[in-house]
């Protein structure tokens, strides 16, 4: 779906990542190029194109967002968190390089992400971009804590966790792209809500896939949520109702693009990406 965008992002990531042969640099590159969908940076490029902004202005931030996302995955896979051995069909970073290096590789990606923004984003916008991305990352951390502490006892509590753990970074991705494309405040607000709705749809789909897919299809162990006694949408609602809820959020996301007309067609298609993964 994002073939052209992935090529652009991957070229830029290779430019920004350290090129030395230290174990830390190898672990950082290994995790970044382990087969990710590049969903968030591709979304940023599509948003920029729709708003007729400059790809060169948003690309450093798009790479930073992907580094932040990968950092959260590395830490999420650690034994003290979800204790996952596979990610995207490959050994997780800590299985490949050990827990200490994996922890530091995540730290390295997190730090490098903000350096890239400060060094390469337009000066007038870099402070706002850093503020948005750091706020989203804090929400991700808060969501992980909520998930670890008690999980969710209801659908409303589960939504609160996923708004922080998943939707916050997707929302920030779209918002940052809009900011860098000099969008109007009304446009930025609509696109932020679009990202949030799509983030919820994406997470519900992930819950369903963990519940009903296979390791061969998903590229990582399935059933881990049940093994870790995590509350999920399929557990609360059943698979069919969870699918319907994912579709509801996709439709809400698409509706928020109405003001952009035909220019938003790619973003509308992306809104239904999560649901199509379930077919």
Alpha helices in 17-154 (DSSP H): 23-32, 39-50, 55-77, 93-97, 99-120, 123-149
Nearest 5 degrees, angle CA 29-CA 210-CA 77?
35
Per-residue pLDDT of the chain (279 residues; tens, 9 = 90+): 799 999 999 999 999 999 999 999 999 999 999 988 999 999 999 999 999 999 999 999 999 999 999 999 999 999 999 899 999 889 999 999 999 999 999 999 999 999 999 999 988 899 999 999 999 999 999 999 998 886 668 899 999 999 999 999 999 999 999 999 999 999 999 999 999 999 999 999 989 988 875 555 445 555 555 555 578 899 899 999 999 999 999 999 999 999 999 999 999 999 988 777 765
Q: Is 3-276 a CATH 3.50.50.60 domain?
A: no
Spans of all domains in the chain: 3-276
- Residues near 203 by Cβ (< 8 Å), separated by ≥ 6? 162, 165, 166, 167
Q: 0.85 exceeded by the pTM?
A: yes
The sign of the CA dihedral 212, 163, 111, 54 is positive
């Amino acid at each position: 779906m994002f073939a052209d965008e992935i090529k652009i992002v991957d070229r830029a990531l290779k430019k920004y990542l350290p090129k030395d042969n230290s174990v830390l640099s190898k672990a950082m590159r290994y995790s970044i190029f382990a087969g990710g969908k590049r969903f968030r940076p591709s979304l940023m490029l599509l948003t920029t194109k729709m708003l007729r902004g400059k790809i060169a202005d948003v690309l450093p931030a798009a790479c930073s967002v992907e580094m932040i996302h990968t950092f959260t995955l590395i830490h999420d896979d650690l034994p003290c968190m979800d204790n996952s051995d596979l990610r995207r069909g490959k050994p997780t970073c800590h299985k490949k390089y050990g827990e200490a290096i994996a922890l530091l590789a995540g730290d390295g990606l997190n730090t490098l992400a903000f350096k890239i923004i400060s060094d390469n984003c337009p000066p007038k916008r870099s402070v706002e971009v850093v503020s948005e991305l750091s706020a989203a990352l804090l929400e991700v951390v808060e969501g992980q804590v909520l998930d670890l502490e008690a999980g969710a006892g209801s659908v409303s509590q589960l939504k609160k966790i996923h708004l922080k753990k998943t939707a916050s970074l997707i929302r920030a991705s779209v918002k940052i792209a809009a900011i860098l494309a000099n969008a109007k405040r009304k446009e930025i607000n609509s696109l932020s809500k679009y990202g949030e709705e799509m983030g919820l749809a994406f997470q519900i789909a992930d819950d369903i896939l963990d519940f009903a897919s296979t390791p061969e299809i998903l590229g990582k162990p399935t059933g881990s949520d049940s093994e870790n006694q995590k509350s999920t949408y399929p557990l609360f609602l059943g698979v069919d109702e969870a699918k319907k809820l994912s579709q509801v959020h996709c439709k809400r996301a698409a509706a928020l693009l109405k003001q952009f007309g035909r220019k938003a067609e790619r973003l509308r298609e992306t809104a239904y990406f999560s649901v199509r993964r379930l077919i």
